[in-house]
Structure 1
Protein backbone atom coordinates (compact mmCIF):
# COMPACT_ATOMS: atom_id res chain seq x y z
CA UNK A 1 0.00 0.00 0.00
CA UNK A 2 2.88 2.37 0.81
CA UNK A 3 4.42 1.81 -2.66
CA UNK A 4 1.12 2.68 -4.32
CA UNK A 5 0.81 5.86 -2.23
CA UNK A 6 4.36 6.92 -3.18
CA UNK A 7 3.64 6.18 -6.82
CA UNK A 8 0.57 8.45 -6.84
CA UNK A 9 2.46 11.19 -5.02
CA UNK A 10 5.20 10.99 -7.66
CA UNK A 11 2.59 11.26 -10.43
CA UNK A 12 0.98 14.29 -8.76
CA UNK A 13 4.36 15.97 -8.25
CA UNK A 14 5.29 15.39 -11.89
CA UNK A 15 2.00 16.86 -13.06
CA UNK A 16 2.40 19.89 -10.81
CA UNK A 17 5.97 20.53 -11.98
CA UNK A 18 4.90 20.22 -15.62
CA UNK A 19 2.19 22.79 -14.98
CA UNK A 20 4.48 25.22 -13.17
CA UNK A 21 7.34 24.89 -15.65
CA UNK A 22 4.93 25.24 -18.55
CA UNK A 23 3.93 28.68 -17.26
CA UNK A 24 7.47 30.05 -17.28
CA UNK A 25 8.16 33.13 -19.34
CA UNK A 26 10.12 32.41 -22.49
CA UNK A 27 13.27 34.52 -22.74
CA UNK A 28 13.72 34.34 -26.50
CA UNK A 29 12.90 32.12 -29.41
CA UNK A 30 15.45 32.07 -32.20
CA UNK A 31 13.81 32.67 -35.56
CA UNK A 32 17.03 32.74 -37.58
CA UNK A 33 16.23 29.41 -39.24
CA UNK A 34 12.95 30.79 -40.62
CA UNK A 35 14.71 33.77 -42.21
CA UNK A 36 16.55 31.56 -44.70
CA UNK A 37 15.38 32.04 -48.27
CA UNK A 38 14.30 28.40 -48.65
CA UNK A 39 12.16 28.58 -45.50
CA UNK A 40 10.62 31.90 -46.55
CA UNK A 41 9.61 30.42 -49.90
CA UNK A 42 8.08 27.27 -48.40
CA UNK A 43 6.49 28.98 -45.37
CA UNK A 44 5.44 25.62 -43.91
CA UNK A 45 4.89 24.97 -40.20
CA UNK A 46 3.98 21.73 -38.45
CA UNK A 47 0.54 21.21 -36.98
CA UNK A 48 2.11 20.62 -33.54
CA UNK A 49 0.23 22.71 -31.00
CA UNK A 50 2.34 24.40 -28.34
CA UNK A 51 0.68 27.80 -27.88
CA UNK A 52 2.65 30.96 -27.16
CA UNK A 53 1.24 34.30 -26.06
CA UNK A 54 3.07 37.17 -27.76
CA UNK A 55 3.41 40.83 -26.80
CA UNK A 56 0.61 41.77 -29.23
CA UNK A 57 -1.79 39.64 -27.13
CA UNK A 58 -2.12 37.09 -29.96
CA UNK A 59 -1.81 33.37 -29.31
CA UNK A 60 0.38 31.62 -31.88
CA UNK A 61 -0.10 27.87 -32.20
CA UNK A 62 3.64 27.10 -32.09
CA UNK A 63 7.07 28.69 -32.38
CA UNK A 64 7.15 28.35 -36.18
CA UNK A 65 3.95 30.35 -36.64
CA UNK A 66 5.23 32.89 -34.10
CA UNK A 67 8.53 33.26 -35.99
CA UNK A 68 6.89 33.89 -39.36
CA UNK A 69 4.63 36.50 -37.74
CA UNK A 70 7.58 38.09 -35.95
CA UNK A 71 9.58 38.27 -39.19
CA UNK A 72 6.60 39.84 -40.98
CA UNK A 73 6.33 42.41 -38.17
CA UNK A 74 10.06 43.29 -38.37
CA UNK A 75 10.98 41.43 -35.17
CA UNK A 76 8.81 43.59 -32.93
CA UNK A 77 7.22 40.71 -31.01
CA UNK A 78 8.33 39.12 -27.77
CA UNK A 79 6.94 36.10 -25.94
CA UNK A 80 4.93 36.99 -22.85
CA UNK A 81 4.36 33.40 -21.69
CA UNK A 82 3.70 29.88 -22.84
CA UNK A 83 0.03 29.03 -23.35
CA UNK A 84 -3.00 30.93 -24.53
CA UNK A 85 -3.28 34.69 -24.14
CA UNK A 86 -6.03 35.86 -21.84
CA UNK A 87 -8.70 37.89 -23.55
CA UNK A 88 -8.75 41.61 -22.76
CA UNK A 89 -11.50 42.68 -20.34
CA UNK A 90 -14.70 43.97 -21.92
CA UNK A 91 -15.38 47.68 -21.54
Structure 2
Protein backbone atom coordinates (compact mmCIF):
# COMPACT_ATOMS: atom_id res chain seq x y z
CA UNK A 1 0.00 0.00 0.00
CA UNK A 2 1.24 3.47 -0.84
CA UNK A 3 1.63 5.23 2.51
CA UNK A 4 2.16 8.68 1.08
CA UNK A 5 -0.51 11.28 1.72
CA UNK A 6 -1.59 11.23 -1.93
CA UNK A 7 -1.65 7.43 -2.06
CA UNK A 8 -3.75 7.17 1.09
CA UNK A 9 -6.21 9.78 -0.21
CA UNK A 10 -6.58 7.82 -3.45
CA UNK A 11 -7.36 4.62 -1.53
CA UNK A 12 -9.79 6.36 0.81
CA UNK A 13 -11.68 8.04 -2.01
CA UNK A 14 -11.99 4.69 -3.77
CA UNK A 15 -13.63 3.35 -0.59
CA UNK A 16 -15.73 6.46 0.05
CA UNK A 17 -19.03 4.93 -1.08
CA UNK A 18 -18.55 1.89 1.17
CA UNK A 19 -17.36 3.97 4.14
CA UNK A 20 -20.45 6.21 3.99
CA UNK A 21 -22.75 3.22 4.38
CA UNK A 22 -22.09 2.86 8.11
CA UNK A 23 -25.44 3.94 9.61
CA UNK A 24 -24.10 5.05 12.97
CA UNK A 25 -20.78 6.22 14.39
CA UNK A 26 -18.19 3.56 15.21
CA UNK A 27 -14.68 3.79 16.57
CA UNK A 28 -11.64 2.04 15.16
CA UNK A 29 -8.61 2.06 17.43
CA UNK A 30 -5.11 1.60 16.08
CA UNK A 31 -2.63 0.64 18.80
CA UNK A 32 1.02 0.88 17.82
CA UNK A 33 4.35 1.01 19.57
CA UNK A 34 6.47 2.40 16.74
CA UNK A 35 6.85 5.96 15.49
CA UNK A 36 6.48 4.84 11.88
CA UNK A 37 3.10 3.16 12.33
CA UNK A 38 1.92 5.88 14.69
CA UNK A 39 2.65 8.46 11.99
CA UNK A 40 0.93 6.40 9.29
CA UNK A 41 -2.05 5.85 11.58
CA UNK A 42 -2.33 9.57 12.36
CA UNK A 43 -2.24 10.37 8.65
CA UNK A 44 -5.00 7.83 8.03
CA UNK A 45 -6.98 9.28 10.96
CA UNK A 46 -6.76 12.83 9.61
CA UNK A 47 -7.64 11.84 6.05
CA UNK A 48 -10.40 9.34 6.77
CA UNK A 49 -12.32 10.70 9.77
CA UNK A 50 -14.09 13.49 7.81
CA UNK A 51 -15.24 11.00 5.14
CA UNK A 52 -17.41 8.65 7.19
CA UNK A 53 -18.90 7.78 10.56
CA UNK A 54 -15.87 5.60 11.31
CA UNK A 55 -13.72 7.53 13.79
CA UNK A 56 -10.12 6.34 13.84
CA UNK A 57 -8.11 6.91 17.01
CA UNK A 58 -4.38 6.17 17.08
CA UNK A 59 -2.67 5.54 20.40
CA UNK A 60 0.58 4.24 21.80
CA UNK A 61 -1.04 3.49 25.15
CA UNK A 62 -2.27 -0.08 25.64
CA UNK A 63 -4.67 0.84 28.46
CA UNK A 64 -6.20 3.68 26.42
CA UNK A 65 -6.68 1.42 23.39
CA UNK A 66 -8.53 -1.14 25.47
CA UNK A 67 -10.61 1.51 27.26
CA UNK A 68 -11.65 3.11 23.97
CA UNK A 69 -13.11 -0.18 22.74
CA UNK A 70 -14.92 -0.81 26.02
CA UNK A 71 -12.64 -3.40 27.59
CA UNK A 72 -12.10 -3.43 31.35
CA UNK A 73 -8.63 -4.99 31.07
CA UNK A 74 -5.52 -2.79 31.21
CA UNK A 75 -3.30 -5.08 29.11
CA UNK A 76 -3.78 -7.14 25.95
CA UNK A 77 -2.14 -10.07 27.72
CA UNK A 78 -4.88 -10.00 30.36
CA UNK A 79 -7.60 -9.73 27.72
CA UNK A 80 -6.20 -12.73 25.83
CA UNK A 81 -6.00 -14.75 29.06
CA UNK A 82 -9.64 -13.92 29.84
CA UNK A 83 -10.72 -14.97 26.34
CA UNK A 84 -8.84 -18.26 26.58
CA UNK A 85 -10.35 -18.95 30.02
CA UNK A 86 -13.88 -18.16 28.77
CA UNK A 87 -13.41 -20.44 25.76
CA UNK A 88 -12.11 -23.22 27.98
CA UNK A 89 -15.20 -22.90 30.21
CA UNK A 90 -17.50 -23.00 27.18
CA UNK A 91 -15.80 -26.14 25.86
CA UNK A 92 -16.14 -27.99 29.19
CA UNK A 93 -19.82 -27.02 29.52
CA UNK A 94 -20.73 -27.83 25.89
Q: Under a length normalisation based on structure 1, what TM-score does the superposition of the two structures give?
A: 0.28
Q: Which of the two has higher C-alpha Rg?
A: 1
Q: Under a length normalisation based on structure 2, what TM-score does the superposition of the two structures give?
A: 0.28
| Structure with the largest fraction of helix | 2
